[in-house]
């Protein structure tokens, strides 16, 4: 199913697709204050989170970590997790899935009676509003998308522009990546990486020529 024109209503808030290509899909989530997603996993896909605004508690089967605005995390396939918004106004998140598959979902526990159920069907779908963002394909001349004092740009970078990156600047790889000189890929589409780490890796390795990435900066 093509989710590009709908908002999916959830018992904890809502989500909608804001970017996709053949490698990755990115969803914009709003988790309302005090609510949480099911304890679930994705058997076949990896997930990346970028918290744009608010605070969350991200729980796994045996531990919980706290995230604040512009924190990021990778959740590898088959790892059960649940996200709770603990700040006023809730939490706003970019969720990166690789590969795209909303039905790659196993719910272990759920406070809203969805344990064992699949992804929400069309009765939970609503038309997008003008407030919904969409990230266009990489174009260095296009204006950034501004969300919660963050600027989101989809760029075709050159290596020298990334060599003095800051830890607070984040990048989502959408094509290409970073390779070793023996052509081993070490940063893949769907990975979320901070600017400091990115510049450190690029001192030793190279940027694949087809690379595009979404930058998120304050």
Angle at 82 between CA 103 and CA 3, to 5 degrees: 30
Q: What is the CATH number of the domain that holds 44?
A: 2.60.120.10
Same structural domain for residues 179 and 121? no
Global confidence as pTM: 0.95
* Residues spanned by the domain of 95: 6-127
Same structural domain for residues 25 and 91? yes
Same structural domain for residues 17 and 121? yes
Summary mean pLDDT of the chain? 96
pLDDT one-digit tens code per residue, 36-82: 999 999 999 999 999 999 999 999 999 999 999 999 999 999 999 99
Same structural domain for residues 17 and 115? yes
Give the Cα separation of 35 and 111 in Å (integer).
Answer: 9
Same structural domain for residues 122 and 158? no
Same structural domain for residues 100 and 27? yes
- Of 127, 160, 189, the residue that ends a domain is 127
Same structural domain for residues 14 and 52? yes
């Amino acid at each position: 199913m093509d989710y590009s024109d709908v908002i999916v209503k959830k018992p904890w808030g809502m989500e909608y697709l804001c970017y996709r290509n053949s490698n990755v899909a990115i969803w914009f989530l709003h988790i309302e204050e005090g609510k949480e997603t099911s304890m679930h996993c994705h058997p076949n896909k990896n997930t990346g989170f970028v918290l744009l605004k608010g605070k969350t508690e991200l729980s796994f089967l045996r531990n919980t970590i706290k995230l604040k605005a512009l924190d990021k995390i990778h959740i590898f396939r088959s790892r059960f997790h649940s996200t709770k918004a603990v700040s006023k106004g809730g939490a706003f998140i970019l969720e990166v899935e690789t590969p795209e598959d909303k039905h790659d979902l196993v719910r272990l526990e759920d406070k809203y009676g969805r344990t064992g159920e699949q992804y929400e069907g069309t009765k939970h779908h609503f038309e997008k509003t003008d407030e919904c963002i969409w990230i266009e394909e990489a174009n260095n001349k296009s204006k950034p998308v501004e969300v919660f004092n963050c600027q989101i740009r989809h760029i075709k970078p050159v290596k020298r522009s990334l060599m003095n990156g800051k830890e607070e600047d984040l990048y989502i790889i959408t094509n290409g990546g970073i390779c070793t000189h023996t052509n081993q890929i070490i940063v893949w589409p769907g990975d979320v990486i901070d600017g400091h780490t990115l510049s450190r890796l690029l001192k030793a390795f190279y940027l694949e020529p087809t690379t595009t990435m979404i930058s998120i900066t304050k």
